[in-house]
Structure formats: C-alpha cells, structure tokens
Chain A
C-alpha cells in the first residue's frame, strides 16, 4: 500500500483544445507550491496524484494544495493493485473496525468483468466478514469507503474529499497589476483575480515620512500572505510624498484624493506596461468611501487605457472581511499603520468629481515629470510565502 494524494481538477476539465496549456500551468504551479518537499507529481487523464512522499509531510502537502487555484478537491488515498482481494483487504485495514459504512466504487477501468455495484457488494462483504462490529447502511453511514479503479491497473481508496479553491491556475490568464494599499480590500481583490488565473504584480504608494517603515513592512507581509495562493508576487513600492505635496500646493483640497488616485492609476499603468500586465486590479467597492462612488471611479478610470478589474465592486465590507479572514490577511490588514490615502485627508472629499475639474487642477502640475520622478525611486520586493 502506497500513500498518495489524489488531485481533482475543476473547471479545466471542461476546456477544449487549450486544455493542455491549462494543465501544464497547473502542474507547474503545484510543483512550485510543493517546493522543498520531496514528492512526485503524476499526471493521468483528468487526475493528478502526489506520490513518493514521506508520511510526515502529508499534512503540509495537503495544506499547500488547498491553496493552489485550479484544484477543485483533493483526497489523501492509498494506492493498491486492482485485484479484488487486495482492494478489500486494504479497505478493511484502513477503515474503522466498527460503525455503519457504505462502499462507493468508481470503475474507470472498463476491462473488469464486474460492475461497480457488484464490486462494491463484494468489498462490503469482505469488510463485514473481517470485523463483526461493522454494518452496512447506504444512507445513514458513519464512513464512506471510496474506491476509484483507474485504467492504469491501480486502484485508489480514500475517505475524505477536501474541498480546494477551484478557479483557474495562476498565470493562465496573463498578468495583472494590483494596487495594494495595506487595507483589508486590496489583498482580497488580488486573491480573487489570481483565482481567475491572473499572475499578480503589485504596486504600493509610500508616503515617507507620513507613513512609516512599518507601513511598508505591513504591505510586504500582505503580499507574502496572498502569495501562498498567488505564487511569488513582485511588489513595487513607489515614493509618493512629492506628488502629494504638489497636489496639496496646487489643487483644491476636496479634490486631493481624486487627483492622487489618478496619479496612482498612471503609475500603475506604467509599471503594468513594463511587466506585461494586461490589466490593473483594485479593491474598490462601489460607494464604500468618497473615492469609490461611480463618479469618482469614472474620473480615476479615465486616465487608464488598460481594463481595470474591480472584483469587489459589488461586495459589502462584511463579505470582504469574511474572505480576508479566510485567506489569512485580516489580522495584518488591521495593523494600525497609516497608508498614503489617509495623509492629507480632506474633511469633505468630493463625492461627485468631474473629469474636467480634475484635469483643470492637473494643468497646474507637471504630471509627466512627477510620474517619472516617482518611478525613478521605485523599490522592488519579491514576496513569497
């Protein structure tokens, strides 16, 4: 009996001619996720298996696989030769000695003379004979004995089906540039777009001395936390104070945030172009704050040529918090360090800005020069969990 982990692929299964590309991306992502653990990935039709690992590593392998996008579920299993007596003995050995059970058989290997139902009946009978305290109950059972008979002459026996992330393998949808603030929303937005197959790059705007070194460390930590799902993230930290000073000196204070966010978009787009990103990602949620009203989004969006993905646009804060807790970024997100958006925060930010007004303020600024200058001071961090 050899221990193995059975991996079920989700949506990719339905892909047509491109399936090979999705599968090879997933394989490579799984290998990256399991880096440092000795094991082998075996790929058969519609299934993948992790084999040849030490039993001690199994919980860690499971933990990591549950974070890989493109996997719908996994099952720790044992692998035996497809021979009825061997299968039945294995089932009897690994399952509890008492209790109600049922046997479910999936017979992909059609060369076998017996049907699934007949095999299930035979295995159940042997299991009953071996331990007298077991009883069969097809509906109200304590444990289900799953037997998966594959075409390669091997059978997999498993107990649990552990649900995973689903989604598409990271990288198969291209690259996206995430605006990562340090709050609750943006890491969730990154996670969600990675789930749809984007490889995530991130940009953070840093307002030293108004925001501290700890604020930057916090963002690096957040990038590391979501990298458990997204894979390594390249984070660009852009010095933003000079731009804020220039806006403060030249624009009406109510437009401070609007103009600031237009600069963020411009810089993000430049970094996106340099890193082959086809989209910008933000954590905006409609109406959450003044800068996230439809009018504000229109004004900030108007400087971007790339599509801006806003996966949280229709989410309530409580729903976002729930995801943030689930993916493990919440505790870091709520650390009390200021981010650049809270610096020079006007008391009454404009709720319905217009493109024309924003542009009229920007005429007083050397927009290109400020963007170039900020880009020349970018710091790059490679963040990996």
Chain B
C-alpha cells in the first residue's frame, strides 16, 4: 500500500496504540473518581496537558476534545462575541470553521470571509482593511489542509490586535503541528486547534490551546471536566497517546521535514513536466502538494490509483464526498483543470520508493484515461 492521504488521517504509531491499549485494559478508571489509581490518571492528564503546551511553546492551557472540528467549534461558539460584532474567517477555512461561521452569520453576526490568493493563503492587505474596532473574533488556519499553503499567522495576529486589542484570534493548526515550526507565544494567537490523528496519534482526541487570560463558554455542559470548558469523562488513553504523538512529531520535525521537502520538490517537478498545474503558496508546508490535471477528473484518478493500492485525496476528505466547489473557485484554474484537482499528502514514513511507484502509476493511468476524454 502506498498511502498518500496523510492530510486526511495518518497511521497511528505502535507506541500510541500500545499506550491506548494499556489505559483501556489496566488503567481504565474514571479520572474524576476519588481513589488513588484514578487520581494518578488525573495527574497524568495534567502532565500531558502541560507538556503539550511546553512543546508548542504556549502560555496557557490545553483543553482536550474529541476532534479538530470540535475544538474549532468550541473556539468559535465559546468565545465572547458582542451581538452583531464582526467575525472574520478566511475564505479557504476547513468546513469545521467555515460552516460554523456560516451559522454565526445566520445568528446575525457580521461575518466576513477574508479573500485568499490562489493558494488559499490570506491576502494580508485585504485582511488589514477588513479588521475594524468592532471585530470580536478572527479565525485563520495555519496550514491550509487542501493546498498546504502557510498563513503568516504572526503578522495577521499583530495586524488584528493593533486595530482591536480585544479581538480573539483563533488558528486551526491541525495541519501545522509537527509539520512546520510552531511557537504559540510568538504567533500571538489566543486559541489554537491541534489534532491527534493527523500526526500518528489516535482518532477521537484533539485539543484547543487557550492562552492565559482568555475565557470561553463551554458548548458541552456536564461534570465540569477540562476546567469546566469541556465536560465529558476524559479519553485518558487517547490523551496520553496524543501527548506521545506530539512529542514524536515535534522532536523529529527538522529531520523529517528535510526528507519530505525533497519528496515534494520531486513530485512538483514531475507534475509540472506532465502538464499539471501545481499550487504553490508563498510559504508552503512540504507535507501537502495540491495539483490539477487537465481534462481528467480528480476522483476518477483517485479510483484508478486505488486499484493499485495507491491512496490519494481530491480535497478535504471531510468534504470531498459532497462535491463542493469552494476549492476550484479559490484556485482560479483554467476550465479544463477545474475538476482535475488531486491532493497528495505525505507523512514522515513516506519513502522515495513509494513516490517512484506513484509517479509511474499516475503517469500510466493519466495517459490511459486521457484517451477517452470527450
């Protein structure tokens, strides 16, 4: 199997699975219980929480949730927003943010979708013009999940705070953790979303970093876990293994990144030679490459490759089933490329052999499919 859809999800590390199984089998206690083994779990969660903040260089706390989408929703619906105030999200956000913003629009907020360039990156000049003193909340993703382009969050955050120091700035960093260098204190964000299964952790666990001094209203009420901001019995095994996944991603960041960049450069060159259009951001994560083929539909290519055990994406896996048109509109591709978008995304385990096989196969399939174009 050649798995090239790592922006969709990644294969969990054996270490993470082992930790999870240990906590499910032996340390299955409810951390809110009062006996000693349960209290130990409570402490372990606290340690993990603190370690993750340290690794991401953030001054604040990490709230554990069940998914990146939940973290985004908690940030958007949980932060203080005066009625009718302005909410800004980038036009290329993940549906978890985009659709939550649409809901705020329904509720009467002045929601503005900030223009992005053809790589999905926020246009800073436009952004500065949209932010005003009435802006209460901003969400701009760190790394675009479909194109891999990187937003300059530090710059955007400082522009926003200069105009309105009280604005809450959230960034979805699900595709950034372990893939690009992160210092939350340097970025200046108030809220930051991270997720386990995108970095070889397990599905069902994610987090929202909340900077010191920022208060949220919960969207789930109950027993008061996670500082009252996210009630639910803690997914202990998931959380501890998430901590391990972040540790592994952050410690190997430089070494993996160099290798992956070589792979991406190689594929970018190959795609360009084949006549595909490659999306390149001003700043780019090496882990994602988005390209568009002329005349052949991305989904048809996806299915053609799956016959050979090669798995790629055609856009955000969460939304690609719905056939949305947001991405083609952003990329402003010539008509014959519009339906041909594919997304190849790597992990630290992607090998050069995998890529050679992929290149050979996609070339053969493309030439075969091209024969039957109307």
Q: Give residues in A with beta carbon < 8 Å to B.
A: 208-210, 212-214, 244-245, 248, 253, 336, 344-347
Within 8 A of A (CB), among B273-307: 297, 299-304, 306-307
Contact flags (1/0) for B307-329 with A, using CB distance below 8 Å? 10000000000000111000000
Asked if A253 meets B300 with Cβ closer than 8 Å, knowing A214-B321, A336-B323, the reply is: no
In the bound complex, residues from chain B placing their C-beta under 8 Å from that of A210 are: 297, 300, 303
Tell yes or no: B227 within 8 A of A by CB.
no
A209–B307 touching, CB < 8 Å: yes
Asked if A212 meets B299 with Cβ closer than 8 Å, knowing A336-B322, A336-B323, the reply is: yes
Given A209-B302, A209-B304, output 8 extra A-B contacts at Cβ < 8 Å.
A209-B301, A209-B303, A210-B297, A210-B303, A213-B303, A245-B372, A336-B322, A346-B374
How far apart sit A346 and B372, CA to CA, in the bound complex (Å)?
Answer: 12
How far apart sit A345 and B303, CA to CA, in the bound complex (Å)?
Answer: 19
| Chain B interface bracket (under 10, 10 to 19, 20 to 34, 35 or more) | 10 to 19
Name the 9 nearest CB pairs between A and B, nearest first.
Answer: A209-B303, A209-B304, A336-B323, A209-B300, A248-B372, A210-B300, A212-B303, A208-B303, A245-B372
Contact flags (1/0) for B83-105 with A, using CB distance below 8 Å? 00000000000000000000000
In the bound complex, residues from chain A placing their C-beta under 8 Å from that of B297 are: 210
In the bound complex, residues from chain A placing their C-beta under 8 Å from that of B374 are: 253, 344-347
Q: Write the chain A residue with the least CB distance to B303.
A: A209
How far apart sit A234 and B300, CA to CA, in the bound complex (Å)?
Answer: 28
> Shortest beta-carbon distance, A221 to chain B, in Å?
14
In the bound complex, residues from chain A placing their C-beta under 8 Å from that of B306 are: 209
How far apart sit A344 and B323, CA to CA, in the bound complex (Å)?
Answer: 19
Interface centre among B297, B299, B301, B304 (most CB of A within 10 A): B299
How far apart sit A346 and B321, CA to CA, in the bound complex (Å)?
Answer: 25
Within 8 A of A (CB), among B318-374: 321-323, 372, 374
Q: Write the chain A residue with the least CB distance to B301.
A: A209
In the bound complex, residues from chain A placing their C-beta under 8 Å from that of B372 are: 244-245, 248, 344
In the bound complex, residues from chain B placing their C-beta under 8 Å from that of A244 are: 372
In the bound complex, residues from chain A placing their C-beta under 8 Å from that of B304 are: 209
> Shortest beta-carbon distance, B298 to chain A, in Å?
11
How far apart sit A253 and B306, CA to CA, in the bound complex (Å)?
Answer: 29
In the bound complex, residues from chain A placing their C-beta under 8 Å from that of B322 are: 336
In the bound complex, residues from chain A placing their C-beta under 8 Å from that of B303 are: 208-210, 212-213
Q: Can you list 15 A-B pairs, Cβ within 8 angstroms, ordered by A?
A: A208-B303, A209-B300, A209-B301, A209-B302, A209-B303, A209-B304, A210-B297, A210-B300, A214-B321, A244-B372, A248-B372, A336-B322, A336-B323, A344-B372, A344-B374
In the bound complex, residues from chain A placing their C-beta under 8 Å from that of B323 are: 336
> Shortest beta-carbon distance, A143 to chain B, in Å?
45
Q: Write the chain B residue with the least CB distance to A338.
A: B299
Contact flags (1/0) for B219-247 with A, using CB distance below 8 Å? 00000000000000000000000000000
In the bound complex, residues from chain B placing their C-beta under 8 Å from that of A347 are: 374
> Shortest beta-carbon distance, A257 to chain B, in Å?
12
Q: Write the chain A residue with the least CB distance to B307.
A: A209
In the bound complex, residues from chain B placing their C-beta under 8 Å from that of A208 are: 303
Interface centre among A212, A213, A214, A346 (most CB of B within 10 A): A212
In the bound complex, residues from chain A placing their C-beta under 8 Å from that of B321 are: 214
Q: Write the chain B residue with the least CB distance to A214.
A: B321
How far apart sit A8 and B307, CA to CA, in the bound complex (Å)?
Answer: 53
> Shortest beta-carbon distance, A206 to chain B, in Å?
11
In the bound complex, residues from chain B placing their C-beta under 8 Å from that of A344 are: 372, 374
How far apart sit A208 and B301, CA to CA, in the bound complex (Å)?
Answer: 11
> Shortest beta-carbon distance, B262 to chain A, in Å?
30
> Shortest beta-carbon distance, B315 to chain A, in Å?
14
In the bound complex, residues from chain B placing their C-beta under 8 Å from that of A209 are: 300-304, 306-307
Q: Write the chain A residue with the least CB distance to B302.
A: A209
How far apart sit A347 and B373, CA to CA, in the bound complex (Å)?
Answer: 12
How far apart sit A213 and B321, CA to CA, in the bound complex (Å)?
Answer: 12
> Shortest beta-carbon distance, B339 to chain A, in Å?
11
In the bound complex, residues from chain B placing their C-beta under 8 Å from that of A248 are: 372
Q: Write the chain B residue with the least CB distance to A211.
A: B303
In the bound complex, residues from chain A placing their C-beta under 8 Å from that of B302 are: 209
In the bound complex, residues from chain B placing their C-beta under 8 Å from that of A212 are: 299, 303
> Shortest beta-carbon distance, B76 to chain A, in Å?
27
> Shortest beta-carbon distance, B305 to chain A, in Å?
8
> Shortest beta-carbon distance, A318 to chain B, in Å?
24
> Shortest beta-carbon distance, A163 to chain B, in Å?
38
> Shortest beta-carbon distance, B152 to chain A, in Å?
36
> Shortest beta-carbon distance, A344 to chain B, in Å?
6
How far apart sit A132 and B322, CA to CA, in the bound complex (Å)?
Answer: 62
Q: Write the chain B residue with the least CB distance to A335.
A: B321
In the bound complex, residues from chain B placing their C-beta under 8 Å from that of A214 are: 321
How far apart sit A209 and B301, CA to CA, in the bound complex (Å)?
Answer: 7
Interface centre among B307, B321, B322, B372 (most CB of A within 10 A): B372
How far apart sit A208 and B307, CA to CA, in the bound complex (Å)?
Answer: 10
Contact flags (1/0) for B196-207 with A, using CB distance below 8 Å? 000000000000
> Shortest beta-carbon distance, A265 to chain B, in Å?
23
> Shortest beta-carbon distance, A242 to chain B, in Å?
11
Q: Write the chain A residue with the least CB distance to B323.
A: A336
How far apart sit A319 and B321, CA to CA, in the bound complex (Å)?
Answer: 29
How far apart sit A244 and B374, CA to CA, in the bound complex (Å)?
Answer: 12
Q: Write the chain B residue with the least CB distance to A213.
A: B303
> Shortest beta-carbon distance, B208 to chain A, in Å?
32
> Shortest beta-carbon distance, B181 to chain A, in Å?
38
Q: Write the chain A residue with the least CB distance to B297.
A: A210
> Shortest beta-carbon distance, B312 to chain A, in Å?
12
